[in-house]
Structure 1
Amino acid sequence: MKICIAGAGAIGCTIAARLAHSGQDVNVLARGETLAAIKKEGIKLTDLDGDYQVPVNASESAEELGPQDLIFICTKAPALPVMLEKIQPMLHEKTIVIPAVNGIPWWYFQGIEGRFSGENIQSIDPEGSVSKLLPHKHLIGCVVFITASRQAPAVVKATNPHLIVLGEITNEMTERLESVRHVIELAGIEARATDNIRDQLWTKVAANITSNPLSVVTKGTLEQVYADDRLKPLVRQMLDEVLLTAAAYGARIRFDPHTFMELGAGMGAVKTSMLQDFEAGQPLELSAIGHSVIELANKVGTPMVATQNLLNVTEFIATHHTHLPKAS
């Protein structure tokens, strides 16, 4: 397989390093100082298995990298349309594209029958332009459970076990799905194939929406967000709202709320990706992680009052207080 990682942030570099270390032919679509760092010294990854420094082929030109068999889209949600436009020269008839992007995916109502079948999610893809850039046949859905932080360009530290859950958006179990799962597993990343990727998505959505915005407001780590007695009532209220919305779509989160919050606290003193973005002055993934969930809740008439209020506060802080002073 010719594999490309499109986007060399913390998640992209982690996946690229593990795949390259396992002997796969890995290309990385990157730019700027990250591209320069990769060309000079490769990708440096520290995770639970040790320290790695692996060379990979990197370029800012999709034309230069050429057609790929498997492409992981590892960009932030706001940059997704630009990235999908950029990868077009790498697509061939059987290219598999796996968007490793936070939040409700733009394809949520595609590939299956149902009340909202074929509809666009307005907060993510209002004009349907993203859907047009990538036909259904290329897509495999995924949920990434990798906790990683960027230490420097192309230098990443990951502090928890790696897990990627994969599923066809049609809910079929296919040969190509198993083939991709096997490649990822050989790279030392736990990989699971599922016949209902949307259930798994709701688990990650619940984790993201209950932790990411609140971490920006409080500057708290995952451990603090899920374990501090002053924050737990709010987190539980938001979690209940998400669970109700997921259930309205026929999805099931496999953890009870108490266990869910214990697992969140067990992730340790880790900053969420949204807090990392906030501190770096980057756009926040509020549309994908927050507004899309509110949109889906509104479609089925489930109230998300606590979640909406917190999103409003987070947006205010992101807009007016890019660099908050530290408490004395």
Structure 2
Amino acid sequence: MKICIYGAGAIGGYLAAHLAQASGVHVSVVARGEHLAAIRRNGLAVESPQGTLRARVEATDDPRALGPQDYVVLALKSHQVVAALEGVQALLGPHTAVLPPTTGIPYWYFHGLPGALRGRQIERLDPQGLQWRAMAPERVLGCVYWVASEVTAPGVIHHDGSLSRFPVGEPDGSNSERVLRLAAAMKAGGLDAPVVPDIRGWIWAKMISSLCWNPVATLTLGTLSEMNARPEVVAVVRAMMAEADALAQRLGVERTPITIEQRIAAARNAGDHKMSMLQDLERGRPLELGVLVDSIEAMRELAQTPTPTIDMVYALLRLRAEKQAKQPEPAVSMTAG
């Protein structure tokens, strides 16, 4: 089995190192800069309170060198995907399955979905249908990445030791051979990767957590433990989550698999972890604001459901993002995602 992780950052590097532990799985990563050089030289290292996991993987900045894969995992920021599509195409064979980012509502969301919205393409989520054409929805497997990790040095990923989970599923909810094989490989690599029949519900659950905790962390500069220590901050997050849950229900998700209180408890248990958007702010990178705003606004328009608290928080965050965009980016980026 050949699996390419396109982007070996906090999530991609964590996945690659674990998958490399599975017998019969050839893992490659697409990376760049100092991160690529370090992976080629020393391999990947995932540090956690449980110890250090090391892995040797094939690493390149040219996807054409890897050839067709069985699975391609796009561990990129959503705003980086379009620029990577040409490289992704070089990895696709007749039966290659693709796992696009699920930070927000993915371009394939309405593919195979029963009801009036079946097959709907949302221009705002996939301008000009570029992703739909390059990575046909028939290729897609959905996966949600619940892991508190960050790149701390080239080739080094730090995991805070909290529980990680990677629910994976077919858009139609079936237990296909390809989803079962991938889940088995992930499990063999030490990952908790259940096959779920309701991957869209899991996408909403993860998106809602990101949608709510990320902007509040970026505005307050707070870690999860710092935010959870202030009831007034948690109240804002809880109100945002309630609005997003109502939106999901209007669009056919009977209930997300994780309740609001469970999400808040999970964040509390994550300790001093910094949300990814705050990490980007501190490193001078552009904030991944577009995919979250586009997702919630596109879905709100379809559902005709108001989200006043979310709108208010993101109005503040837009100013933060505009000021961040005026800052010079770091000369060398350590990750491809």
TM-score strictly above 0.5 = yes
How well do the aligned residues superpose, as a CA RMSD in angstroms?
1.7
**Residue of structure 1 equivalent to 2:22:** 22
Superposition deviation, residue 322 in structure 1: 6.0
**Match for residue 240 of structure 1 among 242, 248, 251:** 242
CA distance in 2, matches of 1:317, 1:88: 35
Answering whether residue 197 of structure 2 is matched by residue 195 of structure 1, we say: yes
Q: In the superposition, relative to structure 1, how do residues 170 and 256 fare at CA in structure 2: closer, same or farther (>3 Å)?
A: closer
Superposition deviation, residue 286 in structure 1: 1.4
CA contact (8 A) 1:294 1:304 kept: no
CA contact (8 A) 1:105 1:288 kept: no
**Residue of structure 1 equivalent to 2:233:** 231
1:93 is paired with a residue whose SS is strand
Superposition deviation, residue 170 in structure 1: 2.0
Q: Structure 1: give runs of 5+ residues left out of the alignment.
A: none
**Residue of structure 1 equivalent to 2:138:** 137
CA distance in 2, matches of 1:244, 1:302: 8
**Match for residue 177 of structure 1 among 179, 193, 197:** 179
Answering whether residue 301 of structure 2 is matched by residue 292 of structure 1, we say: no
Superposition deviation, residue 109 in structure 1: 1.3
Q: In the superposition, relative to structure 1, how do residues 28 and 233 fare at CA in structure 2: closer, same or farther (>3 Å)?
A: same
After TM superposition, the structure 1 = structure 2 runs for residues 51-62 of structure 1, keeping only pairs within 5 Å, are 51-62=52-63
CA distance in 2, matches of 1:149, 1:242: 27
CA distance in 2, matches of 1:2, 1:254: 31
**Residue of structure 2 equivalent to 1:146:** 147
**Residue of structure 1 equivalent to 2:6:** 6
Mean Cα displacement is larger for which, 144-153 or 116-125? 116-125
2:151 is paired with a residue whose SS is strand
After TM superposition, the structure 1 = structure 2 runs for residues 26-45 of structure 1, keeping only pairs within 5 Å, are 26-45=27-46
Superposition deviation, residue 321 in structure 1: 4.8
1:63 is paired with a residue whose SS is helix
Mean Cα displacement is larger for which, 129-138 or 248-257? 248-257
CA distance in 2, matches of 1:61, 1:322: 28
CA contact (8 A) 2:281 2:324 kept: no
Paired letter, 2:117: F
Identity among equivalent pairs (%): 31
Superposition deviation, residue 117 in structure 1: 2.2
CA distance in 1, matches of 2:143, 2:322: 31
After TM superposition, the structure 1 = structure 2 runs for residues 79-228 of structure 1, keeping only pairs within 5 Å, are 79-159=80-160, 160-228=162-230
**Residue of structure 1 equivalent to 2:76:** 75
The one-character-per-residue Cα deviations of 1:15-73 (angstroms, maximum 9, x if unpaired) are 01111133431111111111111111111111354202221111111111111111111
**Match for residue 280 of structure 2 among 277, 283, 304:** 277
Superposition deviation, residue 287 in structure 1: 2.0
Q: In the superposition, relative to structure 1, how do residues 109 and 150 fare at CA in structure 2: closer, same or farther (>3 Å)?
A: same
Q: In the superposition, relative to structure 1, how do residues 323 and 50 fare at CA in structure 2: closer, same or farther (>3 Å)?
A: farther
Mean Cα displacement is larger for which, 176-185 or 115-124? 115-124
Paired letter, 1:230: E
2:145 is paired with a residue whose SS is strand
The one-character-per-residue Cα deviations of 1:128-172 (angstroms, maximum 9, x if unpaired) are 111111112211011111110110122101112221001111222
Superposition deviation, residue 186 in structure 1: 0.6
Answering whether residue 47 of structure 2 is matched by residue 46 of structure 1, we say: yes
Runs of 4+ with >4 A deviation: 321-324
Mean Cα displacement is larger for which, 220-229 or 69-78? 220-229
Mean Cα displacement is larger for which, 220-229 or 173-182? 220-229
Superposition deviation, residue 191 in structure 1: 0.7
CA distance in 2, matches of 1:216, 1:20: 34
> Which one scores higher on RCO, CA 8 angstroms, separation ≥ 6?
2
**Match for residue 321 of structure 2 among 318, 321, 324:** 318
The one-character-per-residue Cα deviations of 1:260-283 (angstroms, maximum 9, x if unpaired) are 312221111110011111111222
CA distance in 2, matches of 1:140, 1:126: 21
CA contact (8 A) 1:222 1:272 kept: yes
1:145 is paired with a residue whose SS is coil
Q: In the superposition, relative to structure 1, how do residues 321 and 144 fare at CA in structure 2: closer, same or farther (>3 Å)?
A: closer
2:69 is paired with a residue whose SS is coil
Q: In the superposition, relative to structure 1, how do residues 51 and 312 fare at CA in structure 2: closer, same or farther (>3 Å)?
A: same
CA contact (8 A) 2:102 2:203 kept: no
Superposition deviation, residue 182 in structure 1: 0.5
Q: Structure 2: give runs of 5+ residues left out of the alignment.
A: 328-337
CA distance in 2, matches of 1:215, 1:172: 37
CA contact (8 A) 2:21 2:188 kept: no
